[in-house]
Structure 1
Amino acid sequence: MKKIEIGALIIMFASIFFFRLFWTTFKERVEIGSYVEIIGRVDASKGRVDTINGKYPTKNIYFLVDRVPDGEKIVYGRVKKIEQSKWGTQYSLEVERYKEKKGILKEFYIDRIKKITEDYSIDLEHFLRATILGEGYLLMDSIKEMFRYTGTAHILVISGLHIGVIILGMDSLFLKLNLKKQIRYILILCILTVYVCAIGKSPSVFRAYIMAVIYLLGNILYEKVNSGKSLILAFGISLLVYPAWIYSISFWMSYVAVFSIIFIYKKIPKLKNRSVFIEKVLNAVVMTFVIQIFMTPIFYMFFKTVPIFSIFSNILIIPIASIFIVTSFLTLFLSNFYLGFLTAPLVYYSYIILIRSVDIISKIPYLTLEL
């Protein structure tokens, strides 16, 4: 492609992006007494704002309501209290009326998770819904703070790890059924699309989904997939569809992490060792270190913190979190056949080990430097 054509594409992309950014982002000043229309999911009288007055917020906004049933809702009311925290802004609303906003697939998954966790604590249900369905607002601030301080907050965000688990799990299952490659990947693409539609949009999910679709289509059409070009394409599409994500920390964390792996880590010569296990561990440490270096400016801009030694906490926590995510998806899948009870204990114990491990590590001073 000629330089003139590339320049024209960049100008066209920038023009569309800034036009959509201006018209789709929420810029009004909200004060006590302001009348607002909020779309979001209500759980136990609280929720996170998806849109406010028909536009996307440029920062995290949460809301509290009285006498509104759980579920996806369109809420109309006046703001009676405004509170600020490091996690965002919270509006307490005096609700005048509300309407249902149907999300059949998501309600189905929520119902499954509730059945899986009915014999365990409500904390497990909330943690599962946060890590599997992206409902992070259900987590207590103390839990979010622990993960933030230890530099493992990315575990609480649905990302490529989750999408990868679905692809690998389904591919292994379909291989055992002796399905042809094209049929396998078409089925995986359909299942992945249903999952993404159910959990709703988020920057990390959208990025992982687009890259996964490109990978799957490449295998279906027998084309070689370039991961770098896939990332750039996902970045451009994300900003064109949801320009307000330019203000989102999860957007930047997701893309910066994958960028550092594709364009930096893959260029570094791999460490060798006689033991395959030690070799994998050493290279995982190098990859985590590279990601940490590139993520540091993001943490500073959004949290005014610098993760100093959180590389070590990631090395310890990520394997435990991976086991939790794998067993969670397996249990969710088995619950469709009323067999979720077989692996539910594994979900519970991996959750307990994960939380206690993060709690212990969070007691170590100077993991993250507060500025």
Structure 2
Amino acid sequence: MNVIYMISLEITFILLNLYLLPKNIAIFISVLTIILLTIFNNKNKIFIAIIPILFLIRSVYTIDFSNHLIGNTVTLNMQLYKEKGLIKEINGKFPTSISYTYITNLQNGLYNITGTIKNKAIKYNNTYYTLDIDNIKEIQENTLKLYFKNKANSLLKNSNFQLKKIYYAVVLGENQYLNKQLKDIFSYIGISHLMALSGFHIGLIILIVNFIISKFSLTKRKKNILLLLFITCYYMGITHSPSLTRAYIMGVIYLLGNILYENTTLPKSLCIAYIISLFFNPTYIQNISFKLSYIAVFIISYIYPIIKSMLNSKNKILHSFIFIITIQIFLLPVTLNEFGTIQILGFISNLIAVPIGSIFITISFIGLLLENIYLGFVVYPLIKISYLIFIKTINILNKIPLMTLKINNGFKSSLFYILYIGILCFLAFYMERKKEKITHEKIYKRTHIHQ
């Protein structure tokens, strides 16, 4: 097995141990497993041993496994929006579940809050803390974030509030501005992924910037270096999410491969992004955005190419339909587990609303670029028109019955993912072997006929 895949499995196993078992037992089993895999592996032993050990150490010291915080004085790093604070860190450590607290009389922004925890409640699988506040310190956003926000505000100064909210979500990653009604509509018609910055958006930026710099007489290597610098500046200037971090890392790997004249493959890039993302924040593995993002790209990388190879047709519309259906079918167990929903007619919105939404997002990115030279007003009318068409489309689709069927509130079982990922990996392996067998048979027949 390739060393990258082996390390990915080891890291996943370590996190499962830490979440499902007592801490000391989890550490012992993880170390024992790493030692055994290192001993019985024939090559790349140093990577198979060192990287998982470093990850284990980082996870132990950066994840907050405390279950008895009531009465303790803590420092919370949090992002506040409309008096609801999303807790990013507790005493410098990542919380094991999505956690919130409520703070009144403060503006939206980032804060360090020191106080004593009075109460803890679990609602919808999230943790809510009640706090006696001792000290509040505002955290200033970085210069790039402020710069992009100012440019977006300048571009949209004459627009309505809903356009600003959607623009902030699809261009700056600020999806907290979307109200619940709008989020429910996107979820019902099956295009929530369009509102979350991910590989689609990073790829779009690379295409737009590449088109612009292609007008200059630059070598391919210099173009890729400029693209790398641009997407890095963009990434540093917007709100991060697990799906965006994955897309950024994969984009960096792709561009570095071009710069260094190295071949990169989508599956290996996905595994490297998975490892780096979890090093950055080990608790991402509990995040639904992280799960959906990586599983969807896994399906695109491993499952869909095999299904595509079995199709005899070259019809692009058919391939688009099969692509959407493949992702929907294989993500169905995840949406059932997390949300208790089944997308029945979601492929319709993906064939109609996604292309229209893509046009709106593309023009929105171009508008932000032009606003840097004070020419955003040139494309603002197009932003407004494409937005109105997009909103009209999703409102029509929202009236269609059975786009998404709600069954229950979801099971949210961690053990489910062990079985699901295992089946998915086995299926990918089995289908790949079957594809190789068919290819070998075709080659044999051709050789036999030629002889």
Q: Which category describes the TM-score, using the shorter chain as reference length?
A: 0.7 to 0.9
Q: Which of 184, 187, 210 is residue 145 of structure 1 equivalent to?
A: 184
CA distance in 2, matches of 1:258, 1:328: 25
Indicate the residue corresponding to 2:220 in structure 1.
Answer: 181
Q: Deviations over 1:160-192 (max 9, x none)?
A: 011111111111111111221111110110111
After superposition, the CA RMSD in angstroms is 2.8
Letter in 1 for 2:335: F
CA distance in 2, matches of 1:363, 1:84: 34
CA distance in 2, matches of 1:90, 1:206: 26
Which residues of structure 2 form unaligned runs of 5+? 4-40, 409-451
Work out which structure has the larger RCO, using CA pairs closer than 8 Å and 6 or more positions apart in sequence. 1
Indicate the residue corresponding to 2:269 in structure 1.
Answer: 230
Alignment of 1:1-371 (within 5 A): 3-5=41-43, 9-10=47-48, 12-29=50-67, 36-77=74-115, 88=126, 95-102=133-140, 103-267=142-306, 268-269=308-309, 272=313, 279-369=315-405, 370-371=407-408
Q: Deviations over 1:270-309 (max 9, x none)?
A: 5645xxxxx3222111111111122112212221222222
Q: Deviations over 1:35-60 (max 9, x none)?
A: 55332334454453322332223343
Greater displacement, 76-85 / 279-288: 76-85
Letter in 2 for 1:178: S
Q: Deviations over 1:204-230 (max 9, x none)?
A: 111111111111111112222222111
Query: What is the Cα deviation at residue 109 of structure 1?
Result: 1.2
Change over 3 Å in CA distance of 1:78–1:125 after alignment to 2: farther
Query: What is the Cα deviation at residue 260 of structure 1?
Result: 1.1
SS in structure 2 of the partner of residue 51 of structure 1: strand
Letter in 2 for 1:368: T
CA distance in 2, matches of 1:148, 1:119: 29
Greater displacement, 28-37 / 310-319: 28-37
Change over 3 Å in CA distance of 1:131–1:35 after alignment to 2: farther
Which residues of structure 1 form unaligned runs of 5+? 274-278
Query: What is the Cα deviation at residue 331 of structure 1?
Result: 0.7
Query: What is the Cα deviation at residue 245 of structure 1?
Result: 0.5
SS in structure 1 of the partner of residue 105 of structure 2: coil
Change over 3 Å in CA distance of 1:140–1:171 after alignment to 2: same
Greater displacement, 69-78 / 334-343: 69-78
CA distance in 2, matches of 1:130, 1:191: 20
Q: Is the 8 A contact 1:24 1:244 kept in 2?
A: no
TM-score (norm 1): 0.87
Greater displacement, 85-94 / 123-132: 85-94
Change over 3 Å in CA distance of 1:33–1:132 after alignment to 2: farther
Change over 3 Å in CA distance of 1:260–1:195 after alignment to 2: same
CA distance in 1, matches of 2:231, 2:119: 40
Greater displacement, 343-352 / 325-334: 343-352
Query: What is the Cα deviation at residue 146 of structure 1?
Result: 1.4
Change over 3 Å in CA distance of 1:120–1:271 after alignment to 2: farther
Change over 3 Å in CA distance of 1:305–1:197 after alignment to 2: same
SS in structure 2 of the partner of residue 337 of structure 1: coil
Tell me the matched-pair count: 366
